[in-house]
Amino acid sequence: MRVIRVSDIPRPKYRELCQAIPHLSDVESNPKIRMLIEEGLRISEPAALYREVPIDERGEDSILAGGVKLVSPLLSDITGHARAVFPFVLTIGSAMDAWMDSLQDLYHRYWADLIATEILHCSILYLDGIIRENREIKHLAMMNPGSLESWPLEEQNKIFSLLGGNWRDIGVELLPTFFMKPLKTVSGIKFSTESVFEACQACSREGCPTRRAPRDPRFASKYQIL
Ligand code: SF4
Write out pLDDT tens, residues 89-130: 999 999 999 999 999 999 999 999 999 999 999 999 999 999
Kind of pairing, strands 53-58 and 47-50? unpaired
208 lines ligand 1 (CB under 6 A): yes
Residue 148 CA, closest ligand 1 atom number:
5
pLDDT-based confidence at 10, cuts 50/70/90?
very high
Q: Which CATH number fits domain 4-222: 3.40.50.1970, 3.40.50.970, 3.40.109.40, 1.50.10.10?
A: 3.40.109.40
Atom of ligand 1 nearest to the CA of 215: 1
Q: How confident is the model at residue 221 (pLDDT cuts 50, 70, 90)?
A: low
Q: What is the pTM of this model?
A: 0.90
Cα(202) to centroid(ligand 1), Å: 9
What residues have CB less than 8 Å from 134, skipping those under 6 apart?
A: none
Kindly give the distance from the C-alpha atom of residue 2 to the centroid of ligand 1, in angstroms, as a whole number.
30
Residues 55 and 83: beta-carbon distance below 8 Å: yes
Residue 52 Cα distances to 43, 83, 176, angstroms: 30, 10, 26
Q: Of all protein residues, whose CA lies closest to atom 5 belonging to ligand 1?
A: 200
Q: List the domain boundaries for the chain.
A: 4-222
pLDDT band at 222 (very low <50, low <70, confident <90, very high): low
What tens digit of pLDDT does each residue of 148-172 get? 778 899 999 999 999 988 888 899 9
